[in-house]
Amino acid sequence: MSHLNLLVGGPTSGWPEQLTAGKVSGDWIGVDRGTLRLLKMGITPLVAIGDFDSLSADELHQVKTAVSDIRQAIPEKDETDTELAVTVALKEFQYDRLDIYGATGGRLDHFLANLWLVLKPRYRDFAPQIRFIDQTNTITFFLPGDYTIKKEADKKYLAFIPLEKVDGLTLVDEKYTLDHENVPYPISYASNEFVGETGQFSFESGLLAVIQSKD
């Protein structure tokens, strides 16, 4: 399993501890201000993505000096920076997994654009490879199937979140169970919990997010 990390430009206050402490291993891509933040942590990203129009001339110079592969999303293709990063990471570089940091906190229009990226037909198949990580949440995505997931040691709550119409949602062994529930529109089944160290669930159609979180 090879994995790549992506840092987008959300507030550093939302970062998980291990990122603030510089303890996230692996290669990086930076988006916009995320690139500058990586450089400041002594990390040179493989690729920098963005128009960098929020950076000063000095900051832009730093980015251009340090990073050899700089790219811009094509607005005409209705593509966001994060989407281009997903394409580069999972399609071009063919990493198995992409962990996205810096996507929460601050502007909610950005968060929702990032969260819903997996609903777009051209990214849908990549959903299971994408993970969002912040201080209190880990978001993963699932296509129809039967799954057993592991509890993260530092998280308490478990949420099942149909991002669209989902049929046959079954929560087998969680604190609150469901039996072939047909969910007609997005719902966040929040505040569920693992009973043991794993949780089993299945569904027949649609796209499901799972969030493990703590207070």
**Alpha-carbon torsion 119, 135, 91, 83, what sign?**
positive
Q: How many residues bind a copy of itself (CB under 8 A)?
A: 35
Q: Note whether 193 binds a copy of itself by CB under 8 A.
A: no
Q: Which is nearer to a copy of itself, 90 or 117 (CB)?
A: 117
Q: Strands of the chain (E only): list them.
A: 3-7, 27-31, 47-49, 70-71, 97-101, 130-133, 137-142, 145-150, 157-162, 166-171, 178-183, 189-192, 198-203, 208-213
Among 109, 153, 179, 196, binds a copy of itself (CB under 8 A): 109
Among 55, 66, 143, 159, binds a copy of itself (CB under 8 A): 159
Phi-psi region of 82 (alpha: psi -120 to 50; beta: other; left: phi over 0): alpha
Residues 6+ away with beta carbon under 8 Å from 5 = 24, 26, 27, 28, 29, 98, 99, 100, 101
Among 16, 128, 168, 186, binds a copy of itself (CB under 8 A): 186
Binding mask 7-36 for a copy of itself (x = CB under 8 A): ------x-----------------------
Q: Note whether 116 binds a copy of itself by CB under 8 A.
A: yes
Q: Note whether 202 binds a copy of itself by CB under 8 A.
A: no
Q: Which is nearer to a copy of itself, 93 or 120 (CB)?
A: 120
Among 163, 166, 169, 171, binds a copy of itself (CB under 8 A): 163
Backbone angles phi, psi at 155, to 5 degrees: -105, 150
Q: How far is the CB of 42 from a copy of itself (least distance, A)?
A: 25
Residues in 34-53 at the binding interface with a copy of itself, rule: CB under 8 A: none
Q: How far is the CB of 174 from a copy of itself (least distance, A)?
A: 13
Residues 6+ away with beta carbon under 8 Å from 209 = 115, 139, 140, 141, 142, 161, 162, 163
Contact status, residue 131 vs residue 139, Cβ threshold 8 Å: yes
List residues binding a copy of itself (CB under 8 A). 13, 54, 80, 104-110, 112-113, 116, 119-120, 134, 136-137, 139, 157, 159, 161, 163-164, 185-191, 211, 213-215
